[in-house]
Amino acid sequence: MSNAAKQIDATVRASNGKGAARAVRREGRVPAVIYGGGAEPTSISLDFNATKKLIFAGHFLTTVFEVNVDGKKIRVIPRDYQLDPIRDQPLHVDFLRLTAGQKIKVEVPVHVINQAASPGIKRGGAINLVQHSIEMMVPPDAIPGGVDIDLTGVEIGKSIHASMIKLPENCTAVDKSDFTILTIVATGSMKDEPAADAAAPAAAAKAAPAKK
């Protein structure tokens, strides 16, 4: 998935520290910092309403931004943000400065597809999703929207491991082991079926009248 950089305006902050950050918030802005890329950290402030909208729109931590800092454009990706625990308002944002040829670490969600084509699911099995996401090193401009796990032909008791899936181009898993992503497991009702089947003939024999 190609990620075109979104634009966001910022202003340089003259001072740092908790007191300075509180002063920025009183002005209706959000304190932030841009770090990495071999340069000194740059303290900035963002418009409160614009920042809140971007965070709650979703995919904030996997979106590439071009921050206009007083006329100078810096290519970044959010690495973290803090919200007020009571009011859910943005308190601070950390941006990572991006450089040419760089790869970044992101959590890519797992998408399970073709469940109807799984014999195990048809028989009443359930998906035990061990990994909801996979940590990868990816190009900033090609952050995948997800990794598809195809259940076509997968039976009960079978597992899908990392070695069985194809990662998006130019992306590598951080964990190099052959970890389990999901397993198709038998449900409680299925486990009871053999016992119920065995009990049926015995119950029928008991109910039958004795021959004279």
CB 136 within 8 A of CB 167: yes
pLDDT higher than 50, residue 195: no
Domain 6-97 classification at class level: mainly beta
Q: What is the pLDDT of residue 103?
A: 92
C-alpha 191: how far from its chain's center? 33
pLDDT digits (tens, 9 = 90+) for 12-54: 987 777 778 888 999 999 999 999 988 899 999 999 999 999 9
Give me the pLDDT at residue 55, please: 95
- Terminal-to-terminal C-alpha distance of the chain: 79
CB burial of residue 114 (10 Å; 0-12, 13-18, 19+): middle
DSSP state of 61: G
Q: Which residue has the tokens 């206009």?
A: 68
> Which tens digits make up the pLDDT trace of 55-106?
999 889 999 999 999 889 999 999 999 999 999 999 999 999 998 888 999 9
Q: Give residues with Cβ within 8 angstroms of 173, minimum separation 6.
A: 134, 135, 136, 162, 167
**Mean pLDDT, the chain, as a whole number?**
87
Is 206 or 130 the better-scoring residue by pLDDT?
A: 130
State whether residue 209 is helix, strand or coil: coil
CATH number at 104-194:
2.170.120.20
pLDDT score of 191? 54
Report the pLDDT value the prediction gives residue 2, as an integer from 0 to 100: 43
- Report residue 166: phi and psi, to 5°: -100, 120
Domain ranges of the chain: 6-97, 104-194
Task: Identify the CA nearest to 122 among candidates 168, 172, 67, 184.
Answer: 184
* pLDDT at position 139 over 70: yes
Q: Which strands form 147-150's sheet, in the order they lie side by side? A: 147-150, 104-113, 133-138, 172-173
Query: Residues near 202 by Cβ (< 8 Å), separated by ≥ 6?
Result: none
Give the pLDDT confidence score for residue 94 in this predicted structure: 97
